[in-house]
Structure 1
Amino acid sequence: MLPAYIKPMLAKLSSPFDSPRFLYEIKWDGTRCLIFIENGKVRLQNRRLNDITYRYPEFWDLPKLVPGDGIIFDGEIVVLKDGRPEFRLLQEREHVKSPLKIKMLSERLPATYMAFDLLYFEGKPILDKPLRERKALLKELLPESPFVAESQYILEKGVAFFEQVVAQGFEGVMAKDLESPYLPGKRVDFWLKFKPRGKRTCVIVGYLLRPDGTLKSLLIAEPTEKGLVYRGKVASGLNTHLSAELLIRLKGLEDKKPENLKGRGFPKGARWVKPEIYCEVSFQEITNHGQFRAPVLEKVFL
């Protein structure tokens, strides 16, 4: 008997690397989905553990096509356009509850399930088996269907693959340890994700000092139509010469916190300034709190 639900395994952020121990596959920009097949029935579970079977009629016939029962696949639901996932189109599928509209959308914007792991086989867990074995079995079980595909991967050459994937407009790359087990709900180094760094023009709204009075980090915000959005602190990229020159300018601009500054997580000891000095910042991603992860100061427009 299959479990009622399984929390999907998660990945950590990483810089691209090469390794014979890892496989590399496209990071699909879609909805994470576990597909349960048991007793001739199919059930779809998303990352939040919700049942989303009703949304995707494309997959209702899978029990007839898969050679076996008591199976759980892990993968991503995408809507493809010119061979690439289009998240905007997927969103149209995600927010519909009317059976008639669901049927119409399944014909106009058909979804594809990109399967990348196998968690249960013949009603028994295979979570402890190494990924290379789960992948081999997955390949044997995937049915002939226009709505299901295996997430293809390469070995060893992670850096070149990442560059190629990003150049083609994909979201990034997943790197997975070939010998790793599947750890439900865990975010560990067995699964890593490579994503291209973003770059934004921001304005300096404050700064922090070290105990010796030198510049420690800048507080930055991104100008938007609704005001300034706080994006956190940045210290990487501040060299000694730039820090000294910048600190002189910042001290001359000290003021109260900008009234239109939105966000949270403002640090203690912040010295606020008039938002007049702009800079360019690169970052890994934007966190759930609206701040840049791993920001680097690329340029200051003095």
Structure 2
Amino acid sequence: MQLARVIETSAAVAATRSRTAKTALLADTLREAAQGGDPRLTEVVADYLAGVLPQRTVGVGYRGLSALPDPAEESTLEVLEVDAALESLRGLAGSGSAAARSAAVGALFVRATGDEQRWLVGLITGELRQGAGDGVLMPAIAQAADVPEVLVRRAVMLAGYAGPVARAALDGGAEALEEIRLEVGRPLRPMLAGSEPDVGAALAAASGAEVALDAKLDGIRLQAHLDRAADVPVRLFTRSLDEITDRLPEVVEAIAGLDASTAVLDGEVIALQDDGRPHPFQVTGARTASSADPATLATRTPVTTYLFDLLHLDGRDLVDEPASERWAVLQALAPGLSVERITTTDAARAQAFFDDVLAQGHEGVVVKDPQAVYAAGRRGAGWVKVKPRRTADLVVLGVEWGSGRRQGWLSNIHLAARDPESGELVMVGKTFKGMTDAILTWQTERFLALETSREGHVVHVRPEQVVEIAYDGVQTSRRYPGGIALRFARVLRYRDDKGPEEVDTLDRLK
């Protein structure tokens, strides 16, 4: 199969807003890949359609892709040729590897057309946006292989990625999917939490049943795998399934100290101050960033390990066990590492616990159903996070044209607060979250009417429109002139009752 065929499907999926049409397009291409005779082709095509590299990383970033050769006039690249080239690229290391990597990039891209070059850059850098997320790819795999979608979802949870599951489904059907099991050393998708605005709403959703409340820490989600028989006994993975074992030696030591031969644990790591209060998130984030140099880790702020779930222990898979059973086994295994938790039906006690967690400087709580199985990879009622919502009124300075499903709409808005000393409006972040189709339609018309100039995909506008933004926190930033950035900012509503002179100040955000 030619790479151009995958890109054609990618573009068609990005151009339609119909979930049914997206699923059908993906299923057709997956079937075509399966007819190629090489199961590896199905796996690679599925990963490519998901915007994922099968190799996860190939050691090349934006800088290595900044000076590409002139594109080819005709499309000749085959999918498996590209896969082999990227696999070879990943294996380059040691003396002379930089030059060899540059030559390998050139050899691949000189055969790519302009469209293929742009698509490959997006794939390699992780910036490919084509509208083929899990919500359509998993049903497409089920449709292409004529298997139940529930089997596909469970297999993807356990395998971590859709590519190997597509290969199994189209090569071996439902029977092959049922053979996919949790493997110690291979990360599985983490369970995610829904959200409620307050503790009362979270308890109301439980309809009076007993719930557990975990302290929610503003750290780094971590999945720890212990296998004493492996060459690397402890391996650590982030929620995006990236391995960061070499960046957290103190966590490796803590997991290695558990009385178990094999285990898979779910938890959080966070940097704490001497008084037990958390450092700003960036301090923890610096320990796990891809730019972190393992040689300097001894000089960095240590992190503390907190565990809140156990998915496997000494040959026993626990993902299908009730949460209460998993927690009991975890408490027996790692009492000193378990996160703070209460179990109650009492709304007053739950609120008091929430208030105490906030007083300690943490984010909030996660309300959990003690009977829930570990439903990885999607948000559901089993876990519900509750955090205090912070809001700010800010003014829009510019907007970026959307891509994929948002093609043709102005989407990502540039946000500014007022500097109380100079009176200037100063940028403090961007967001494209919280926007319905109605909001996107309205803001496209509104901001085109306020347009003052354009720069690439950015439309600069007169600073007149105020927007109410919800955000989780504020962190220092060298990216924005205000020296701060909002974390997880999302649109609540546009405010026509306020003018730009009434927006919040930098001091208030700080």
Question: TM-score scaled to structure 1, two decimals?
Answer: 0.70
Distance between the aligned counterparts of 2:434 and 2:382, measured in 1?
A: 29
**Deviation of 1:122 (Å):** 1.1
Conservation of the 8 A alpha-carbon contact between 2:197 and 2:388: no
Distance between the aligned counterparts of 1:261 and 1:168, measured in 2?
A: 46
1:24 counterpart = 2:213: yes
What letter matches 1:100 in structure 2?
A
Distance between the aligned counterparts of 1:61 and 1:230, measured in 2?
A: 39
Conservation of the 8 A alpha-carbon contact between 1:197 and 1:282: no
Question: Which of 186, 189, 193 is residue 11 of structure 1 equivalent to?
Answer: 193
1:91 counterpart = 2:280: no
- Give the structure with the larger helix fraction: 2
Conservation of the 8 A alpha-carbon contact between 2:185 and 2:227: no
**Deviation of 1:10 (Å):** 0.7
Closer, same or farther: CA 42–4 of 1 in aligned 2, 3 Å:
same
Question: 2:125 maps to what in 1?
Answer: none
Conservation of the 8 A alpha-carbon contact between 1:2 and 1:123: no
1:173 counterpart = 2:362: no
Q: How many matched pairs? A: 258
Question: TM-score scaled to structure 2, two decimals?
Answer: 0.44
Distance between the aligned counterparts of 2:294 and 2:305, measured in 1?
A: 20
Conservation of the 8 A alpha-carbon contact between 1:258 and 1:274: yes
Question: 1:283 maps to what in 2?
Answer: 470
What letter matches 2:490 in structure 1?
F
Distance between the aligned counterparts of 2:447 and 2:432, measured in 1?
A: 19
**Deviation of 1:223 (Å):** 1.8
Question: 1:153 maps to what in 2?
Answer: 341
Distance between the aligned counterparts of 1:111 and 1:179, measured in 2?
A: 31
Distance between the aligned counterparts of 1:190 and 1:3, measured in 2?
A: 26
1:34-49 alignment to 2 at 5 Å? 34-39=223-228, 41-49=233-241
Distance between the aligned counterparts of 2:190 and 2:447, measured in 1?
A: 47
1:9-158 alignment to 2 at 5 Å? 9-18=191-200, 19=203, 20-39=209-228, 41-62=233-254, 64-81=256-273, 82-86=275-279, 87-95=281-289, 97-105=292-300, 109-142=301-334, 149-156=337-344, 157=347, 158=350
Closer, same or farther: CA 293–261 of 1 in aligned 2, 3 Å:
farther
Unaligned runs of at least 5 residues, structure 2: 1-182, 204-208, 398-412, 418-425, 437-445, 474-485, 503-510
**Deviation of 1:275 (Å):** 4.1
Unaligned runs of at least 5 residues, structure 1: 206-219, 236-252, 267-272
Distance between the aligned counterparts of 2:497 and 2:451, measured in 1?
A: 22
Partner SS for 2:451: coil
**Deviation string, structure 1 residues 78-119 (Cα, Å, up to 9, x no partner):** 1111312221221332235434312332xxx22111100000
Identity of aligned residues (%): 28
Question: 2:416 maps to what in 1?
Answer: 223
Closer, same or farther: CA 278–47 of 1 in aligned 2, 3 Å:
closer
More divergent stretch after superposition (183-192 vs 93-102)? 93-102
More divergent stretch after superposition (114-123 vs 135-144)? 135-144
1:292 counterpart = 2:490: yes
Distance between the aligned counterparts of 1:117 and 1:233, measured in 2?
A: 30
**Deviation string, structure 1 residues 196-239 (Cα, Å, up to 9, x no partner):** 1121122479xxxxxxxxxxxxxx9732534995767899xxxx
Question: 1:256 maps to what in 2?
Answer: 449
Distance between the aligned counterparts of 1:227 and 1:138, measured in 2?
A: 42
Closer, same or farther: CA 94–164 of 1 in aligned 2, 3 Å:
same
Per chain length, whose mean CA-contact separation is higher, i.e. which structure has more relative contact order (CA < 8 Å, sep 6+)? 1
Closer, same or farther: CA 300–231 of 1 in aligned 2, 3 Å:
farther
What letter matches 1:153 in structure 2?
R
What letter matches 1:133 in structure 2?
E
Partner SS for 2:352: helix
1:181-200 alignment to 2 at 5 Å? 181-200=373-392
Distance between the aligned counterparts of 1:46 and 1:164, measured in 2?
A: 28
Partner SS for 1:84: coil
Partner SS for 1:160: helix
User: RMSD of the TM alignment (CA)?
Assistant: 3.9
What letter matches 1:257 in structure 2?
L
Conservation of the 8 A alpha-carbon contact between 2:217 and 2:270: yes
Partner SS for 1:259: strand
Distance between the aligned counterparts of 2:465 and 2:242, measured in 1?
A: 46
**Deviation string, structure 1 residues 131-189 (Cα, Å, up to 9, x no partner):** 11111111100165xxxx21011223433333333344322211111110001212111
Conservation of the 8 A alpha-carbon contact between 1:119 and 1:134: yes
Distance between the aligned counterparts of 2:268 and 2:464, measured in 1?
A: 44
